[in-house]
Amino acid sequence: MQLTAPATRSTRPTGIRDTDGMAVASFVLGLLGLLVLNVFLGPIAIALASVALWRGTARRGRALLGLGLGVADLLVLVAFMATDNTMSWSL
């Protein structure tokens, strides 16, 4: 009698799904960071995208967009700080 493993929904390893989630999260946080809390969300988006790219995500484009948006968040913050001479900005 041969024992078989129970059927699973996904055949992809957990690590790959985690890196895909990191890539999507970096994109969403980078996009959201353009509007609010860019001093926090920008570095988080950069870190998540970097880890996802380092681990070899299948969503490489999404991770690169998250990386670019995270950098853009910090550039927007610097531009508004130079204009207002404050640590934050508002519209």
Q: Give residue 37's pLDDT band: very low, low, confident or very high (50, 70, 90).
A: confident
For residue 61, count other CB atoms closer than 10 A to its CB.
11
Instruction: Tell me the average pLDDT of the chain.
Output: 83
The full length of the chain comes to: 91
What percentage of the chain reaches a pLDDT higher than 70? 77
The CA distance from 29 to 46, in Å, is: 9
In this predicted structure, the answer to whether residue 44 has a pLDDT above a threshold of 80 is yes
Rounded to two decimals, what is the model's pTM? 0.76
Task: Please give the average per-residue pLDDT across 71-83, as a whole number.
Answer: 89
Element at 19 (helix H, strand E): helix 14-33
The residue assigned the tokens 């059927």 is 7
